[in-house]
Amino acid sequence: MKKLSFLLLIVILISSCTDRGRLERRENRIEGAWYFDRAFYKADYALFRENIYDNYRGDEITFYDDGYAEYYDASLDAYFSGDWILTLHKTQNHDGDERIYTLDMEFSDHIHREKFSFYSNATKIGFRNLNLEVYSDYGFYTFKLNKLD
């Protein structure tokens, strides 16, 4: 019986360290409602980043476990529905393996009849904090989100 318990423990430990296991744990952390705490934009070749938090003040994103997402824009007092997916990319360099998580979101704007997207690198996926870097043609945005209670 002890051997069977030990074998079961080893199987659980090995399977929890797989890339799929890591991805699932981070997906579980993302699920829920988040609000924008900070927002910055840094143009290419700029020395300093610009604080653009006022553009996102009061905005929220809610991630559901089925890949559905909802964006609330406080300035418009409007909700936008969409989808999200978290992807794990592995690269190898001289220091070893590196794991990069990308969080892609696409929302339908029913007001302007178009779609808007965030294709981001998730630089931190915590239980209460989510940091995203979104690259544009002329620079990149940095968003720091906190989970709502």
pLDDT tens per residue, range 112-147: 889 999 999 999 999 999 999 999 999 999 999 999
- Phi and psi, residue 27, nearest 5°: -60, -40
pTM of the model: 0.81
- Taking CB atoms within 8 Å and a gap of at least 24, the contacts of 58-62 are 59/35, 60/33, 60/34, 60/35, 60/36, 60/148, 61/33, 61/34, 61/105, 61/145, 62/32, 62/33, 62/34
Question: Which of 15-29, 32-46, 94-108 is most confident?
Answer: 32-46
